[in-house]
């Protein structure tokens, strides 16, 4: 599979914790999570693969459901959803109606709780976890660490010393990663809290701050700021809302809670006249703040979370005049007084934004509305969950002018990759669909073509040349050394039919490290060969990393914001891609899919 299991399952498993059964309100994500867990538990019990897959498929179907689950259940339409059969429909119904499922509870009780967390360790699948449990009585991560240290794991059939070492290394990494959450997930969790806060009549203003506002790829905790003159009422609501696991701190102006999902949320209530300064302060980043504060000091001002004030002492009088009559009601005003143009939160990372703001040379960042269509979408022809027509209909709903379909090639057999015949058949269907003008969205026929270990592509040029575009990606042989990996990718992108390079480093945020690669060399080769590097917008990938885009784009590298969509709902990932493009200082003209259909057609033709 190109993309790992559902995001939600990933994020909660990553902390090795499970949802409790006493939710006040169970939504589709909660239920999907339970179905995923049932599938996993069945796998650990050695159940048959079809039964296991049925649960995982049903979980994904729920995640992708666009309707209100409660309504579907009420109208008894669950079984109409592809991927949900009769038996699982009954279980979902029971969960929605009673928030309980005895089958699941019994299943869970029959297995040690810590086993599920073991599955999240890279390299440990159901079979291995089962063997560890049965042969060494390993029930949780601590047992496993202990057994590794004693050399017991190495001696098990199918493991060995190398595997034992890898397991230990992975555990160390998971422990450091485990404290953070994907931006996408944190945003989904934070949104309803924000919405409900804004409905309280005591609340004048409410904003997200911290890394979530800066759109960092992962966040440590969620920071919310509220402007209000009655903080106690706001705190009261905040610390008593549903979904709380624990109130970590409750004070008159600052409280912290931990949600059942494991995420921490900090709330600060601030008087209205200090809101802008506080928002700036708590948005950070810390490094950006330090530079900004230094700049204020140099101008005879002091900037802190309460506002911008004249420094005391000799310089006081001069600056007083400067501040008279100015109201610091917005961040813009604060930046302006400091002689800077407004710096969007995404750029506040101390990566040259202050110098650029001083010269009025900040980029005009790309926006969601600039996106005219997307490439890198999968369908049921490989490992996607929606058909070609369903994907196009969804793109049309987003008012996109075009959609680039790129299913997997034959070497990705685990993702049901296509051979030549199936590829040509799909190309035929796409051409035919375009002719019918059934949709206003034009479809480009492409391929996500595997880069083989040698750097050769999975299909000969004679096949590739019949396509509108080709994304070349690595899906296996990740453990080559840096030199070999770099040469492999460069060979692939030098192919004249390689339009773009997919998920550059293969990283999965909070889960899998990038493979070793000389990235600057690959970037230079892509520029020289006019090959685009995609900004894979899957929330778990966000690859190429935003820290590299600014310089690369200045050198002439072109970007394409690709959702790597495996369902119609995944098309929304383009938003995560725009966030990261903005963090990477990218402007409209750096990005292929901000172009109109006519211009993209022309571009692809020249190539």
Give the binding site for Zn ion (CB under 5 A).
2, 473
Q: Which of 463, 450, 468 is nearest to 373 (CA)?
A: 468
C-beta separation of 132 from 125 below 8 A: no
Among 30, 63, 223, 458, binds Ca ion (CB under 5 A): 223
Residue (121 or 267) nearer to ligand DGT, CB = 267
Residue (223 or 468) nearer to Ca ion, CB = 223
Written as six digits, the tokens of 80 are 């109409």
| Smallest distance, ligand DGT to C-beta of residue 224, A | 11
Binding partner selected for residue 499 from Zn ion, Ca ion, ligand DGT, none, CB under the kind-specific 5 to 8 Å limit = none
User: Exposure string (b/e) for 404-424, b if CB count within 10 Å is 16 or more?
Assistant: bbbbbbbbbeebbbbeeeebe
Binding partner selected for residue 289 from Ca ion, ligand DGT, Zn ion, none, CB under the kind-specific 5 to 8 Å limit = ligand DGT
Contact characters 572-591, ligand DGT, x per CB under 6 A: --------------------
Contact characters 213-242, ligand DGT, x per CB under 6 A: ---x--xxx-x-------------------
Q: Does 106 bind ligand DGT (CB under 6 A)?
A: no
Q: Which of 599, 548, 577 is nearest to 184 (CA)?
A: 577
CB-based burial label for 20 (10 Å; 0-12, 13-18, 19+): exposed
| Smallest distance, Ca ion to C-beta of residue 345, A | 12
> In whole angstroms, what is the distance from residue 404 CA to residue 426 CA?
12
Written as six digits, the tokens of 305 are 């979370």
DSSP H/E element including 463: helix 461-464
> In whole angstroms, what is the distance from residue 470 CA to residue 161 CA?
40
C-beta separation of 129 from 44 below 8 A: yes
How many CA atoms within 13 Å lie on the side-chain side of 221? 13
> In whole angstroms, what is the distance from residue 52 CA to residue 30 CA?
18
Q: Which of 182, 262, 163 is nearest to 4 (CA)?
A: 182
| Smallest distance, ligand DGT to C-beta of residue 214, A | 7
| Smallest distance, ligand DGT to C-beta of residue 573, A | 20
C-beta separation of 4 from 511 below 8 A: yes
| Smallest distance, ligand DGT to C-beta of residue 173, A | 17
Binding partner selected for residue 585 from ligand DGT, Ca ion, Zn ion, none, CB under the kind-specific 5 to 8 Å limit = none
Which DSSP letter does residue 274 get?
G
> In whole angstroms, what is the distance from residue 171 CA to residue 14 CA?
11
| Smallest distance, Zn ion to C-beta of residue 607, A | 20
Q: Does 176 bind ligand DGT (CB under 6 A)?
A: no
Q: Which residues in 269-308 contact ligand DGT (CB under 6 A)?
A: 281-282, 284-286, 289-290
Residue (37 or 349) nearer to Ca ion, CB = 349
DSSP string, 511-555: TBPPPP--HHHHHHHHHHTT-EEEEE--TTT-BS-HHHHHHHHHT
| Smallest distance, ligand DGT to C-beta of residue 226, A | 15
Binding partner selected for residue 19 from ligand DGT, Ca ion, Zn ion, none, CB under the kind-specific 5 to 8 Å limit = none
| Smallest distance, ligand DGT to C-beta of residue 63, A | 25
3-class SS letters over 136-162: HCCCCHHHHHHHHHCCHHHHCCCCHHH
Binding partner selected for residue 2 from Ca ion, Zn ion, ligand DGT, none, CB under the kind-specific 5 to 8 Å limit = Zn ion
Q: Which residues in 182-221 contact Ca ion (CB under 5 A)?
A: 210-211, 221
C-beta separation of 363 from 355 below 8 A: no
| Smallest distance, ligand DGT to C-beta of residue 181, A | 9
Binding partner selected for residue 284 from ligand DGT, Ca ion, Zn ion, none, CB under the kind-specific 5 to 8 Å limit = ligand DGT
Q: Which residue is nearest to ligand DGT (CB)?
A: 284
Q: Does 266 bind Ca ion (CB under 5 A)?
A: yes
Residue (2 or 467) nearer to Zn ion, CB = 2
Binding partner selected for residue 282 from Zn ion, ligand DGT, Ca ion, none, CB under the kind-specific 5 to 8 Å limit = ligand DGT
C-beta separation of 575 from 338 below 8 A: no
C-beta separation of 274 from 228 below 8 A: no
| Number of residues located near ligand DGT, criterion CB under 6 A | 14
| Smallest distance, Zn ion to C-beta of residue 405, A | 14
| Smallest distance, ligand DGT to C-beta of residue 223, A | 5
Q: Which residue is nearest to Zn ion (CB)?
A: 2
Instruction: Give the interface with ligand DGT as residue ranges (CB under 6 A).
Output: 210-211, 216, 219-221, 223, 281-282, 284-286, 289-290
């Amino acid at each position: 599979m190109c993309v790992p299991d559902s995001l939600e399952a990933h994020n909660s498993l990553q902390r090795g914790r499970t949802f409790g059964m006493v939710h006040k309100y169970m939504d589709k994500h909660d239920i999907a999570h339970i179905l995923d867990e049932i599938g996993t538990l069945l796998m650990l019990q050695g159940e048959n693969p079809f039964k296991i897959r049925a649960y995982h498929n049903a979980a994904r179907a729920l995640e992708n459901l666009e309707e209100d689950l409660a309504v579907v259940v009420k109208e008894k339409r669950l079984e109409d959803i592809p991927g949900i059969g009769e038996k699982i429909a009954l279980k979902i119904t029971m969960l929605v109606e009673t928030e309980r499922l005895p089958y699941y509870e019994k299943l869970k009780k029959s297995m040690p709780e810590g086993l599920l967390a073991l599955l999240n360790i890279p390299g440990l699948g159901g079979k291995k976890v089962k063997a560890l449990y049965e042969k060494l009585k390993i029930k949780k991560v601590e047992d496993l660490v202990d057994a590794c240290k004693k050399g017991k794991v190495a001696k098990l059939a199918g493991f060995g010393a190398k595997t034992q070492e890898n397991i230990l290394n992975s555990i160390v990494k998971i422990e450091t990663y485990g404290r953070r959450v994907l931006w996408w997930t944190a945003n989904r969790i934070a949104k309803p809290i924000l919405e409900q806060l804004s409905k309280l009549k005591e609340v004048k203003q409410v904003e997200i701050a911290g890394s979530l506002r800066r759109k960092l790829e992962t966040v440590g905790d969620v920071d919310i700021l509220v402007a209000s003159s009655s903080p106690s009422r706001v705190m009261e609501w905040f610390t008593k809302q549903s979904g709380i696991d624990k109130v970590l701190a409750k004070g008159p102006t600052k409280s912290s809670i931990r949600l059942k999902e494991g995420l921490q949320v900090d709330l600060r209530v601030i008087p209205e006249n200090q809101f802008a300064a506080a928002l700036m302060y708590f948005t950070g980043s810390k490094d950006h703040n330090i530079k900004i504060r230094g700049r204020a000091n140099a101008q005879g001002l002091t900037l802190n979370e309460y506002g911008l004030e004249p420094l005391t002492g000799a310089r006081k009088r001069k600056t007083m005049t400067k501040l008279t009559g100015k109201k610091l009601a917005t961040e813009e005003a604060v930046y302006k007084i400091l002689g800077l143009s407004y710096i969007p939160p995404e750029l506040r990372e101390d990566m040259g934004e202050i110098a650029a703001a001083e010269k009025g040379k900040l980029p005009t960042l790309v926006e969601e509305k600039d996106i005219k269509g997307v490439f890198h979408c999968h369908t049921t022809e490989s490992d996607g969950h929606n058909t070609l027509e369903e994907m196009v209909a969804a793109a049309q709903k987003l008012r996109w002018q075009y959609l680039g379909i790129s299913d997997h090639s034959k070497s990705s057999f685990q993702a049901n990759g296509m051979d030549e015949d199936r590829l040509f058949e799909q190309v035929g269907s796409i051409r035919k669909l375009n002719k019918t003008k059934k949709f206003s969205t034009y479809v480009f026929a492409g391929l996500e073509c595997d880069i083989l270990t040698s750097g050769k592509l999975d299909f000969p040029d004679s096949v590739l040349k019949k396509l509108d575009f080709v994304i070349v990606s690595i899906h296996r042989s990740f453990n080559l050394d840096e030199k070999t990996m770099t040469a492999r990718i460069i060979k692939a992108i030098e192919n004249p039919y390689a339009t773009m390079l997919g998920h550059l480093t293969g990283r999965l945020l909070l889960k899998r490290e990038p493979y070793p690669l000389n990235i600057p060399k690959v970037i230079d080769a892509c520029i020289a060969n006019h090959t685009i590097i995609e900004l894979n917008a899957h929330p778990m990938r966000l690859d190429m990393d935003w820290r590299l885009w600014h310089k690369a784009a200045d050198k002439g590298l072109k970007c394409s914001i690709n959702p790597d969509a495996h369902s119609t709902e995944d098309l929304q990932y383009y938003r995560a891609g725009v966030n990261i493009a903005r963090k990477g200082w990218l402007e409209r003209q750096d990005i292929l899919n901000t172009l109109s259909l006519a211009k993209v057609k022309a571009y692809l033709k020249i190539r």
